[in-house]
Amino acid sequence: MQPSSTAEIVSAYSPTTRLLVFIGLILTMIMGALDQSIVSTALPTIVSDLGGLAHMSWVVTAFMLTSTIATPLYGKLSDMFGRRPLLAFSIGAFLFASLLCGMAQSMWELILFRGLQGIGAGGLMTLSQTVIGDMVTPQQRGRYQGLFTGAFAVSSVTGPFLGGVLTSALSWRWVFLVNLPVGLFALALIMLSLPAGGAEAKPRIDYWGAALLSVATAGFLLLFNSVGTSLAWTSPLTFLLLGASMAVFLLFIRQERHAPEPLISLGLLRIADFSVCVAATGIMSFAMMGSMIFLPLYYQLVLEETPATSGLMMLPQVGTMMISSVLGGYISSKTQRYELLLVIGVGIEFSALTMIALCAHHGAPALYFLVSLGCLGMGMGIAMPNATVIIQNSVPAHMLGIATAMMSFIRSLGGSLGVALSGGVMALTLQNGLRALPEKIDVSTLLEQGMIAVQRLSPTMHGEVTEAYKGAISASLSVSSSFMFLAFLMIVGLMIRKSRSGKAG
């Protein structure tokens, strides 16, 4: 059996072991974070080489689909069999699929290999955060999770730049092959330094639960990523896919209630700290992904910035997020005021998203966006590590893996839904704005070709269409701001409840 108490688990790590494992985990998280963003810059070159423009989005969707499905499986299995074998399998599967992606000869091969890569990627960040939770005491988790958040922030934003450099200097295939040396070094450090741990004497795997969760998640993600584009909002197929996904999900809940060793412990949802923070994390991801996806389009279309400049305009968010995550983690470890810091972080995020929405609505100069993005990064750096710490500290040590995995799973689903809903709001608002123009315009062509079609318009029509885009994007940003306010209210409610219970005690 694995150690059940936090003290027993933490004592298994010497200072040297902790340092080596930490380096390996940082490299693992950087690798996982980079792979979510590094491919986007290389996609146009990949399409010109392999063809298959109509299926280009599936290079991203296939990865997201399988990684989201795999996340809770890694969490539960690591609680049953130990962290090291699951982490080794996750990194190994990711590296093997990266090699296959680098050797792909057709778009469909690349899509298939990206799906395999997502199976490995589903465990990279979740297991890295879980092992950190094992390595340190609950009082120290804020500091270490803050460092991880900073590494994640830098990796996420440098990904597109690194992808462009590798594609231009070498080949798009090196976008995937670059994972091999980094991953092999991280795997060596982890395998040599991370204690093996123990497995349950007779582990019982919930195969039916895994199958039902996979089908339900696949259905929801396909729906979220297709509605408004390849699927109409009012299409019978949309309602059929929604109904089928919900039915399978209800069957999954029923299975988890009766399974001897459930894949997801529904009992964790009775823990207020856990359930509120997991739900708030999903809503925060919903708001963040829904807003960030359209900002580069606004910069290039409304502010008339170049693609390179629009990428650089995201740097204030990364810089402040990196600084605040490290400082916030240090402060939270010293003060232990996780709920208060989380409220402050989410409050800053809500204020920043509101400022960004107002800037977009009024067509503010670039400087106002830069300041707002700096504030947004500051809030993210404070909120993200403290949310993780509250979730991990609220559950027993032997359930740390599944608790962290449930957080990652809900966060991924929230992000997918945020992109879909914000995209739908933008598309609907844009269609209404374009149809209201005095001069008739081909709406379908503008929605399909975007900036290319706008650049072909006459100066007068160009200005009117740009105004329509400005209103549509600001509407989607307002949706994100509203959901972030909901997350803020949930965290404030949690802090008030804990404050009252503390006084009563």
SS (H, E, C) 234-286: CCHHHHHHHHHHHHHHHHHHHHHHHCCCCCCCHHHHHCHHHHHHHHHHHHHHH
Q: In this structure, are 456 and 379 located in the same domain?
A: yes
Domain of 361, CATH number, reads: 1.20.1250.20
Q: In this structure, are 196 and 286 located in the same domain?
A: no
Mean pLDDT of the 387-412 span = 77
Q: Which of 242, 260, 278 is the last residue of a domain?
A: 260
Three-state SS for 456?
coil
pLDDT above 70 covers a percentage of the chain that reads 74
Is residue 405 assigned to a domain?
yes
Q: In this structure, are 454 and 312 located in the same domain?
A: yes
Six-digit token string for 473: 């994007």
Residue with more model confidence, 147 or 344: 344
Q: In angstroms, rounded to a whole number, what is the distance separating the alpha carbons of residues 54 and 318? A: 32
Is residue 6 assigned to a domain?
yes
Residue 445: which domain range?
A: 268-500
Give the per-residue pLDDT at 198: 54
Is residue 302 assigned to a domain?
yes
pLDDT above 90 covers a percentage of the chain that reads 4
Is residue 400 assigned to a domain?
yes
Q: In this structure, are 367 and 491 located in the same domain?
A: yes
Nearest to 405 by CA among 212, 124, 138: 124
Q: In this structure, are 469 and 436 located in the same domain?
A: yes
Give the per-residue pLDDT at 56: 61
Q: In angstroms, rounded to a whole number, what is the distance separating the alpha carbons of residues 480 and 467? A: 20
- Residue-wise pLDDT for 211-257, tens only, equals 887 788 778 777 766 665 566 667 788 888 888 888 988 998 888 78
Using N-to-C axis directions, what is the helix angle for 15-50 and 107-135, rounded to 10°? 170
Nearest to 38 by CA among 126, 166, 184: 166
pLDDT at 424 exceeding the cut of 80: no
Is residue 505 assigned to a domain?
no
Q: In this structure, are 179 and 317 located in the same domain?
A: no
Q: In angstroms, rounded to a whole number, what is the distance separating the alpha carbons of residues 49 and 47? A: 5
Q: In this structure, are 215 and 193 located in the same domain?
A: no
Is residue 241 assigned to a domain?
yes
Q: In this structure, are 252 and 277 located in the same domain?
A: no
pLDDT at 288 exceeding the cut of 60: yes
Give the per-residue pLDDT at 348: 92
Is residue 38 assigned to a domain?
yes
User: What string of DSSP letters covers 167-229?
Assistant: HHHT-TTHHHHTHHHHHHHHHHHHHHHS------SS----HHHHHHHHHHHHHHHHHHHHBTT
pLDDT at 2 exceeding the cut of 50: no
Mean predicted lDDT score pLDDT of the chain:
76
Q: In angstroms, rounded to a whole number, what is the distance separating the alpha carbons of residues 253 and 228? A: 29
- Whole-prediction pTM value? 0.71
Is residue 327 assigned to a domain?
yes
| Matching residue, tokens 């091999």 | 180
pLDDT at 313 exceeding the cut of 70: yes
Q: In angstroms, rounded to a whole number, what is the distance separating the alpha carbons of residues 410 and 33? A: 17
pLDDT at 4 exceeding the cut of 60: no
Q: How many domains is the chain partitioned into structurally?
A: 3
Q: In this structure, are 97 and 9 located in the same domain?
A: yes
Q: In this structure, are 250 and 290 located in the same domain?
A: no
Q: In angstroms, rounded to a whole number, what is the distance separating the alpha carbons of residues 142 and 388? A: 8
Q: In this structure, are 117 and 6 located in the same domain?
A: yes
- Residue-wise pLDDT for 434-483, tens only, equals 777 666 665 555 555 455 566 666 666 767 777 877 888 888 888 888 88
Q: In this structure, are 172 and 194 located in the same domain?
A: yes
